[in-house]
């Protein structure tokens, strides 16, 4: 699979060219929306270049290859580059996050000050996302069970001592909590304001050590802080003796994993069926475990992805 990434250099130049020609909101493939869905024999799967995205892109490539397609993986560092490439057909498939991508497309279409359309409601988020994607020649396939969203963790000993399983438990406890997070946490509705308003948690301050960083986790591990902002697929929490508290009142947006495809090249039922097979098996816990195998155990993403799909019976 390493050879599949070598094509990145040539394509990234094209991607940069496409970005350079856009001066604001654009609908690159608007004219193709009414054309029949395409079913190209060779598909390029995009990755955003971090572990989880690499794993998902590799699983997509393996599933599509098993379904009879030629596949290549292209790693592009950010959404500002790969999304226009997806619209133009330089990239055919990408793994995305429903609420985040909905808000990103909304800002691209309606301006940076547009009211967010992503929410904790998956159905509402998916409708908004599909409405925004369709005019751009993109198809958003069904979301699976796996979700990578913001989450909050405390020390396991702290949770046991105070009988904490949920964020509601923490709010009801009346405990004073110093939160390790990014400095933007003091303003973001899903972070300090939401924890106070939705859960009644007594946040005494935000320790700006970053989201899920080693420094922030160590601060909770040693008792300097009581809680850390991380993600639901963080693979290293156990290494620091930390446990997640359940977001039982659904403060966080519905960032479920969704494949997004270029309709004119990969909009066929055959592609949807091949990628949809992953939805029935991949869970949030599975994704965290796969991340751990790459980040902590230093296994190659392609080896981890193939082993998982074979174990689940998804490869012939």
Phi, psi angle pair for 76, to nearest 5°? -130, 130
Tens-level pLDDT at each residue, the chain (316 residues)? 333 333 343 344 444 434 433 333 444 444 445 668 999 999 999 999 889 999 999 999 999 999 999 999 999 978 999 999 999 999 999 999 999 999 999 999 999 899 999 999 999 999 999 999 999 999 999 999 999 999 999 999 999 999 999 999 999 999 999 999 998 899 888 999 999 999 999 999 999 999 999 999 999 999 999 999 999 999 899 999 999 999 999 999 999 999 999 999 999 999 999 999 999 899 999 999 999 999 889 999 999 999 999 999 999 8
pLDDT at 7: 34
pTM equals 0.83
Residue 244 β-bridge partners: 153
Counts for the chain of helices (H) and strands (E), in that order: 13, 10
pLDDT at 33: 58
- Per CATH, is 2-147+254-311 categorized as 3.40.190.10? yes
For the chain, the domains span 2-147+254-311, 150-245
Q: Identical fold at 2-147+254-311 and 150-245?
A: yes
- The residue behind tokens 């963080």 is 234
Asked if residues 210 and 220 have their Cβ atoms less than 8 Å apart, the reply is: no
pLDDT at 235: 86
How far is Cα 300 from Cα 29, in angstroms, rounded to an integer?
Answer: 35
pLDDT at 316: 81
Burial label, 212 (beta-carbon count in 10 A; 0-12, 13-18, 19+): buried
Instruction: Please name the CATH architecture into which domain 150-245 falls.
Output: 3-Layer(aba) Sandwich (3.40)
Distances (CA, A) of 53 to 23, 58, 65, 293, 302: 28, 8, 18, 14, 12
Asked if residues 12 and 81 have their Cβ atoms less than 8 Å apart, the reply is: yes
């Amino acid at each position: 699979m390493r050879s599949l990434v070598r094509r990145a250099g040539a394509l990234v130049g094209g991607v940069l060219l496409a970005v350079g020609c856009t001066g604001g909101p654009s609908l690159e493939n608007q004219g193709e929306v009414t054309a029949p869905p395409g079913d190209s024999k060779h598909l390029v799967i995009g990755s955003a270049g971090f572990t989880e995205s690499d794993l998902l892109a590799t699983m997509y490539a393996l599933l599509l290859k098993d379904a009879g397609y030629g596949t290549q993986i292209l790693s592009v560092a950010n959404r500002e580059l790969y999304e226009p490439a997806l619209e133009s057909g330089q990239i055919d498939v990408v793994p995305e996050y429903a609420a985040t991508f909905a808000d990103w497309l909304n800002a691209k279409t309606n301006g940076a000050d547009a009211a967010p359309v992503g929410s904790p409601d998956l159905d509402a988020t998916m409708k908004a996302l599909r409405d925004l994607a369709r005019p751009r020649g993109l198809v958003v396939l069904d979301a699976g069970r796996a979700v990578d969203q913001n989450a909050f963790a405390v020390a396991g000993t702290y949770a046991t001592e105070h009988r904490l399983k949920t964020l509601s438990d923490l709010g009801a406890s009346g405990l004073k909590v110093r939160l390790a997070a990014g400095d933007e946490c003091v303003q973001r509705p899903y972070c300090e304001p939401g924890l106070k308003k939705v859960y009644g948690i007594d946040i005494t301050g935000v320790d700006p050590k970053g989201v899920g960083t080693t420094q922030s986790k160590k601060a909770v591990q040693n008792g300097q802080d009581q809680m850390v902002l991380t993600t639901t697929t963080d693979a290293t929490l156990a290494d620091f003796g930390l446990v997640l508290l359940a977001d039982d009142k659904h403060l966080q947006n519905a960032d479920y994993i969704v494949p997004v495809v270029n309709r004119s090249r990969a909009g066929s039922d055959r592609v949807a069926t091949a990628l949809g097979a992953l939805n029935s098996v991949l869970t949030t816990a599975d994704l965290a475990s796969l991340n751990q195998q790459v980040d902590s155990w230093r296994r190659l993403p392609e080896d981890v992805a193939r082993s998982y799909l074979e174990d689940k019976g998804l490869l012939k």
